């Protein structure tokens, strides 16, 4: 036990030392070799982080981004699951919708930004819509695949124990497909984050994406790094939440892996 604890402490020590030396190296490089407009030292980024936080700018923009992300991505999860499950269950619907879903999934949705601006303007709705549009397709596709890939033996067993069609769906298909649902959500998240930032860069003057553009255009490189780091932290945090969710909803699956 104490041997294990020792080993863990040692690993953590090595990890910590590695991070500190990377930061130190970066600091030295930015101070003495590379001009700070190209690559600001970590200390300058920390300072920019403090000033933008104190001025209230960073919290406000983070809230902007987070509200667009949660609304757009949340809607994408709910509507994407509904459509995907329906497509998995009903072959006719699948045949009708499949080409559209595949086309939208394959194409770079950023190309639609001008259209969305014409339709919905530059405000909150446009950003939510773009986020939703970017994130929904992996959710649909994975939900559909999950429903279609439920092993026939499970369905046969459920029928053998008297389940009707609705019970087979509720008691078996929804559970058996859960790992696919979560995979779709995980893939959708990555796209949703890109969607939010792109939407903010092109549309209204708000959010972390806007911060990147604004400080980039004014060559305040240290401030550019602040929203980038926050976005990275945000995506890691949400990924962790999804992982926790999977452990909670499908403990059997996580344990199998």
Partner 1 sequence: MLQCNDVCKTFTGGRGELEALRDIRFEVATGEFVSIIGPSGCGKTTLLRILHGLEPTTSGAVLLAGKRVEAPSPSSAMVFQQFNLFPWLTVARNVTFGLEVAKLPLAQCRERTERYVRLVGLEGFAEHYPHELSGGMQQRVGLARALALDPEVLLLDEPFGALDAITREELQREIAVILAQSPKTVVFITHNMDEAIFFSDRILVMGTRPGRILEEVRVDFPRPREADAVRASREFASMREHLWSRLSHGGKPA
| Chain contacts with partner 1 (rule: CB under 8 A) | 153-154, 156-163, 167, 171-172, 175-176, 178, 250-253, 255-256
Report the Cα 11 to chain-centroid distance in Å: 30
Cβ proximity to partner 1: between 163 and 201 the closer is: 163
- Max CA pair span of the chain: 75
- Min dist CB 72 to partner 1, Å, is 30
Cβ proximity to partner 1: between 67 and 178 the closer is: 178
> Which residues are within 8 A (CB) of 30 and not within 5 positions of it... i.e. 6 or more apart?
36, 39, 40, 41, 42, 44
> CB of 230 within 8 A of CB of 242?
no
- Min dist CB 255 to partner 1, Å, is 7
Cβ proximity to partner 1: between 94 and 175 the closer is: 175
- 115-122: long-range contacts at Cβ-Cβ below 8 A with a sequence spacing of 24 or more? 117/202, 117/203, 122/203, 122/204
- Min dist CB 37 to partner 1, Å, is 55
Cα–Cα dist 43/98, whole Å: 51
Cβ proximity to partner 1: between 113 and 254 the closer is: 254
- Min dist CB 142 to partner 1, Å, is 17
- Min dist CB 206 to partner 1, Å, is 43
Cβ proximity to partner 1: between 60 and 171 the closer is: 171
> CB of 37 within 8 A of CB of 219?
yes
Residue given tokens 């708000």 in the structure block: 206
Q: Give φ, ψ of 238 to 5 degrees.
A: -70, -40
């Amino acid at each position: 036990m104490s041997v294990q604890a020792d080993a863990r402490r040692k690993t953590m020590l090595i990890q910590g030392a590695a991070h500190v030396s990377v930061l130190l190296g970066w600091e030295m490089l930015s101070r003495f070799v590379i001009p700070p407009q190209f690559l600001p030292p970590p200390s300058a980024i920390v300072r920019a982080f403090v000033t933008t936080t104190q001025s209230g700018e960073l919290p406000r923009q983070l809230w902007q981004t987070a509200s667009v992300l949660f609304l757009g991505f949340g809607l994408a999860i709910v509507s994407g699951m509904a459509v995907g499950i329906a497509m998995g269950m009903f072959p006719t619907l699948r045949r009708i919708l499949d080409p559209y879903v595949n086309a939208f999934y394959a194409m770079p949705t950023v190309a639609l930004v001008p259209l969305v601006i014409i339709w919905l303007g530059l405000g909150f709705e446009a950003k939510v819509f773009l986020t939703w549009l970017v994130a929904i397709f992996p959710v649909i596709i994975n939900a559909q695949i999950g429903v279609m890939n439920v092993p026939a033996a499970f369905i046969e067993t459920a029928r053998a124990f008297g389940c009707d069609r609705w019970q087979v769906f509720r008691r078996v298909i929804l559970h058996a497909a859960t790992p696919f649902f979560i995979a779709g959500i995980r893939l959708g998240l990555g796209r949703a984050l890109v969607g939010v930032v792109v939407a903010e860069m092109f549309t209204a003057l708000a959010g972390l994406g806007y911060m990147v553009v604004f400080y980039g255009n004014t060559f305040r490189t240290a401030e550019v790094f602040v929203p980038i780091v926050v976005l990275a932290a945000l995506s890691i945090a949400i990924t962790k939440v999804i992982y926790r969710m999977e452990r909670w909803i499908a403990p059997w699956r996580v344990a199998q892996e």
